[in-house]
Amino acid sequence: MATSVHRNGSLTPVSLQGFVLVGFGGSAETQALLFAVFLVLYLVTVLGNLTMIMVITLDARLHSPMYFFLKNLSFVDLCLSSVIIPNALANIFSSSKTISFAGCATQFFFFSLLAATEAVLLAVMAYDRFMAICSPLRYPVTMCPMTCARLVLGTFCVACLNSIVQTSLTFQLPFCSSNYIDYFFCDVPPLLQLACASTAINELVMFGICGFIIVCAVFVVIISYGYITVTILRMRSGSGRHKVFSTCGSHMTAVSLFYGTGFVIYGQPGGVASMEQGKVVSTIYTLVIPMLNPLIYSLRNKDVKDALRRLGQRHSLVKESG
């Protein structure tokens, strides 16, 4: 809902057909460079995450809780980028750069859903590593397939609740006559800037829910890896210690990148200092992190590299026999 301002200062609701996503400014050459960079990063993101999903699905040796969660992380990353980047690419060379009110709300809902899902899922993955390393005898029973499925379902349920609350509170606000969103997708901070009414409740809810999710997730990660570190230092085998450190190091890299950028935007009062800063930070967790995650986990994981090699050999044998 938008509002028009009369001369007497009163606000009257008017129909809002859609928004204009301003995106990134600059000359035509800058826009072309942005398009090329975004397109390459997005293609790498799609290829990397689809490869991870395919390899984990096809290789029976990777049918374990850790890789089950990793496959779900790749799926979430793939969807997260796909909700944002294709539309952003189309808008770079579009003259109108418009997005309908319903389209904006839909994009906002799924972005909130997927971002919150990844935040909780990373904490679940830390708990999985904690159980595998600190309680190896109980691990097969504790992290059975049913438990893993329930944990993933739980992450989606928590994220869905967050998304419903955020979307309903944001899109019931009366928006001013200006429908220009100084961002490259529909997100909370730029939308709140267009509201005519007080956004104190919205900001409090965003800070409360997102801060709670991030703080709880980080707490789980810190506790899990605290115990893991102590367990690793007690290991006598140097090779075993190196393998565990390599796996956990990959996870901590992904966790630090995601939670750090998420906290900058949503987990602190006032958020980012400017929309330009927000655009840069948002690019990191909507495009860069989803692209890096499969690279981090595959390049530093011997099991994944071996699975890729076996898959390649299997493909070569099938091709030769055909």
Whether 310 is covered by a domain: the verdict is no
CATH assignment of the domain containing 96: 1.20.1070.10
pTM score, whole prediction: 0.86
| Residue entry with tokens 């996503």 | 21
Amino acid 145: pLDDT: 93
Can you tell me whether residue 274 is helix, strand or coil? coil
Whether 314 is covered by a domain: the verdict is no
By residue range, what is the domain housing residue 265?
Answer: 17-305
Separation of alpha carbons 190 and 274, rounded Å:
10
Q: Which of 17, 55, 86 is nearest to 306 (CA)?
A: 55
How many domains in the chain? 1
Amino acid 10: pLDDT: 39
pLDDT in tens, the chain (322 residues): 444 443 333 344 434 678 889 888 778 888 899 999 999 999 999 999 999 999 999 888 889 999 999 999 999 999 999 999 999 999 988 888 889 989 999 999 999 999 999 999 999 999 998 999 889 999 999 999 999 999 999 999 999 999 999 999 999 888 876 788 888 999 888 888 888 888 888 888 888 888 788 889 989 998 998 888 888 877 776 666 666 666 677 777 778 888 888 777 775 555 555 677 778 888 888 899 999 888 887 766 777 878 878 877 776 666 666 5
Whether 321 is covered by a domain: the verdict is no
Amino acid 13: pLDDT: 41
Amino acid 305: pLDDT: 79
Amino acid 75: pLDDT: 96
Whether 49 is covered by a domain: the verdict is yes
Separation of alpha carbons 237 and 231, rounded Å:
12
Whether 134 is covered by a domain: the verdict is yes
Whether 158 is covered by a domain: the verdict is yes
Whether 1 is covered by a domain: the verdict is no
Amino acid 67: pLDDT: 92
DSSP 8-state code for residue 182: S
Whether 241 is covered by a domain: the verdict is yes
Q: Encoding tokens for residue 91?
A: 């808008």
